[in-house]
Amino acid sequence: MDTRNWIVLVTATVTALVAIGGYFVNQAAARSERRSKVFAEALAAVFEYQELPFRIRRRTGTPEAAMALAQKVGDAFARLTFYRRWLGLESPLVGRAFDNLVRRTDAQWEEFCEHAWHQSPPEDDIGYQVEQWQPYQFDNLDEQELCLRVMRRELRLLGPLYRRSSRTDIDAQQAARSASG
């Protein structure tokens, strides 16, 4: 084989390797974009769930409003269940962190909703003021922050390298919550 043939062969090989590398980079970027959208939608489902006590408290006194709220509660439960399962399949560590966030939120949610249902619907605009809603402050900021941190790590190009620290963080948080009751 002469020099010309080697140049052609090397050029073709380099071109093929660049094309394959470009394909893998594009696939990784598309996967990361898809995952980040799923993660954001899952967090939005938690925040929608957290807002339900506020919505219940601001309801009108009609049976239609109660039915609409009951439907929203059912939809919120369905979305949370869906994302708990999806994230568990997508990334077991993100699934664990998200599950911890949902469980922590859920532990307070029932009490907040029960309180909201027992309040009379607001009679005027003053009843909708923010000060009225202070009883519904969820104590789940640590779980939110950890869930976001684990999600961000998973979205990195070298995300698998961060899994050990994510697992350690999740285990530490679970142990701390178990010890505190």
What is the model's pTM? 0.82
Task: Report the pLDDT value the prediction gives residue 128, as an integer from 0 to 100.
Answer: 61
Percent of the chain's residues with pLDDT above 70: 93
Q: Where are the domains of the chain?
A: 30-180
**Burial class, 66, CB count within 10 angstroms (exposed 0-12 / middle 13-18 / buried 19+):** middle
Q: Give, for 68, the enclosing helix (H) or strand (E).
A: helix 63-90
Cα–Cα distance measured from residue 49 to residue 77, given in angstroms and rounded to the nearest whole number: 8
Q: Which two tokens stand for residue 2?
A: 């002469």
pLDDT digits (tens, 9 = 90+) for 99-157: 999 999 999 999 998 988 888 887 766 656 656 556 788 999 999 999 999 999 999 88
- Helix/strand/coil for 137: coil
Candidates 98, 112, 115; CA nearest to 150 is: 98
Q: What mean pLDDT is reported for the chain?
A: 88
